[in-house]
Amino acid sequence: TLEPQMATEQDTSDGTQFNAPGLVAGLRTYFRSGTTADLNWRRRQLSQLRKLLTENEQRFFAALKSDLHKAPLESFMTEVSAVTGDIDHTLKHLKSWTRSRRVSTPLAAQPGKSYIQPEPLGVVLIIGAWNYPLQLSLSPLVPAIAAGNCAVVKPSELSPATSALIAELLPRYLDSDAFVCVEGAVDETSALLEQQWDHILYTGGGRVGRIVMSAAARYLTPVTLELGGKSPCIVADDADIEVAARRIAWAKFTNAGQTCIAPDYLLCTRATAERLLPAIQNSVREMFGDNPRESSDFGRIVNERHAQRLAAYLQDGEVLWGGESDPANRYIAPTLLRGAGLETAVMQEEIFGPILPVVELEDFSRVEEFVNDRDKPLALYVFTRDEATADRILSRCSSGNACVNDCMMFMAVHDLPFGGVGASGMGAYHGEHGFKTFSHYKAVMKRKNILDLSVRYAPFTDAKFKL
């Protein structure tokens, strides 16, 4: 039996506090025992994961408050229920997802039958990010379990309270021979990445994404990279400004803007900006009051370094509203920024904070060109009353995900794949798409021993050719 404590107790020569090769070898032995192939075992593990969340909900709320100043209801909606919802959906469909699918067998290969059989990949690695530290560590674990794998979960060290709680609870609820949480930062993750995995799902920035992919290449390990980028929010002149403003404000300022699919910047005409910006300002006021710093519902930046990075963006344009910053206390006010040049850092880097710049176009028909001149974003938002406008933009601009007349709500749909494209990532998960990510779809053919036609065997005589 592999004790999960091993992950923190044993000193090794590479400077980490655990024995990564031993950990993976233990999981591989357990995988080979066949235990994880049993559907009832998978169901039990999923139910236990659900219990882990519901029985410790208050402790997770406290950890998320400490890491990111999240309000309990926000933590419930965006973290806990995101995972429990995925578990419920998975339990409901697990039997049909795991079933083999018959395909037709051509006459030449008769008699025989052909089918596609999903099989688990083996031992997988899940590396989480800090902004939704519970969801991004445990949500990928749901399909990993469902598909019959063993897994190591490595939460982000930048959200230490949530990471510690996951590490404490995982071995108490799940089969610790199959699932292990490893806490740590660069050294620990590097030690894990040196091992041979059957799949790696990484969530975070593109810089580390490249490190993950290079490490995976050594063993030809497939990767899912859930990255980020600058997600544009296009608002057409005919949009319902009141509704757009509320939905944009919600998506941008929830978790103080530290959401991979938050609208990064607004893209509209000057005339629309004149109406939209005051409406967003009103919506933010309704949500967080005149002084968001006092609001128990407004988040904090994950650490001082990121707060300083964000404070520097405030110099890149004219602050229309907000603009206060106190990096030592991890506070950046919800801010609307106008007139930032396209060469400034705020318009070049993913903002990942509560600062919303607006790019004002002379001519709305240039939106597609503007988006396509940049990396493919993780999400693209279009607000318009005209479906043809929305469809034109969606068909001309590539993005991981897209939403018309709202932001981020595709996350609530279990049957939609969640993932990036190009610089915003590769692969996807959620619902059956996650199950597929952690499965191999094996092509199987079963033949009968009768009717062994000689035509395929040498010698290839002229007589056979004429057949």
Q: Residue 114 forms beta bridges with which residues?
A: 103, 445
Residue (of 293, 287, 295) closest to 253 by Cα position: 287
Number of residues that bind ligand NAD (CB under 6 A): 28
Task: Based on the shown chain and the rule CB under 6 A, indicate whether residue 226 belongs to the binding site for ligand NAD.
Answer: yes
Task: Based on the shown chain and the rule CB under 6 A, indicate whether residue 378 belongs to the binding site for ligand NAD.
Answer: yes
Closest to ligand NAD by CB, 226 or 316: 226
CB 66 within 8 A of CB 77: no
Strands, sheet with 101-103, edge to edge from the N-terminal-most edge strand? 101-103, 112-120, 439-447
Closest to ligand NAD by CB, 88 or 157: 157
SS3 331: strand
Q: Out of 74, 177, 350, 432, name the contact with ligand NAD by CB under 6 A.
A: 350
Q: What is the DSSP code string of 137-158?
A: HHTTHHHHHHTT-EEEEE--TT
Q: What minimum distance in Å lies between the beta carbon of 411 and ligand NAD?
A: 10
Class of residue 412 by CB neighbours under 10 A (exposed 0-12, middle 13-18, buried 19+): exposed
Q: Tokens at residue 242, please?
A: 């009141």
- Scanning 8-16, 51-59, 68-76, 184-192 for contacts with ligand NAD by CB under 6 A, the matching segment is 184-192
| Cα 316-319-325 angle, rounded to 5 deg | 85
Closest to ligand NAD by CB, 129 or 346: 129
Please say if 226 is a catalytic residue: yes
Residue (of 301, 304, 406, 310) closest to 70 by Cα position: 301
How many whole angstroms separate alpha carbon 228 and alpha carbon 235? 21
Q: What minimum distance in Å lies between the beta carbon of 351 and ligand NAD?
A: 10
Phi then psi for residue 203, to 5 deg, are -120, 130
* Catalytic pick among 74, 226, 350, 432: 226
Q: What minimum distance in Å lies between the beta carbon of 157 and ligand NAD?
A: 5
Task: Report the site for ligand NAD in 113-152 (rule: CB under 6 A).
Answer: 127-131, 136
- Type of residue at 334: P
Closest to ligand NAD by CB, 193 or 236: 193
Closest to ligand NAD by CB, 94 or 378: 378
- Scanning 145-153, 220-228, 311-319, 365-373 for contacts with ligand NAD by CB under 6 A, the matching segment is 220-228
Task: Report the site for ligand NAD in 411-440 (rule: CB under 6 A).
Answer: 420, 425
Task: Based on the shown chain and the rule CB under 6 A, indicate whether residue 224 belongs to the binding site for ligand NAD.
Answer: no
Task: Based on the shown chain and the rule CB under 6 A, indicate whether residue 154 belongs to the binding site for ligand NAD.
Answer: yes
Nearest residue to the partner ligand NAD, using Cβ: 228
Q: What is the DSSP code string of 3-23?
A: -TTHHHH---TTS-SS-HHHH
Q: What minimum distance in Å lies between the beta carbon of 127 and ligand NAD?
A: 5
Q: Out of 227, 236, 251, 277, name the contact with ligand NAD by CB under 6 A.
A: 227
Task: Based on the shown chain and the rule CB under 6 A, indicate whether residue 319 belongs to the binding site for ligand NAD.
Answer: no
CB 296 within 8 A of CB 390: no
Q: Which residue has the tokens 């799902």?
A: 201
Catalytic residues: 226
Question: Which residues of the shown chain bind ligand NAD in the complex (CB under 6 A)?
Answer: 127-131, 136, 154, 156-158, 185-186, 189-190, 203-205, 208, 211, 226-228, 260, 350, 352, 378, 420, 425
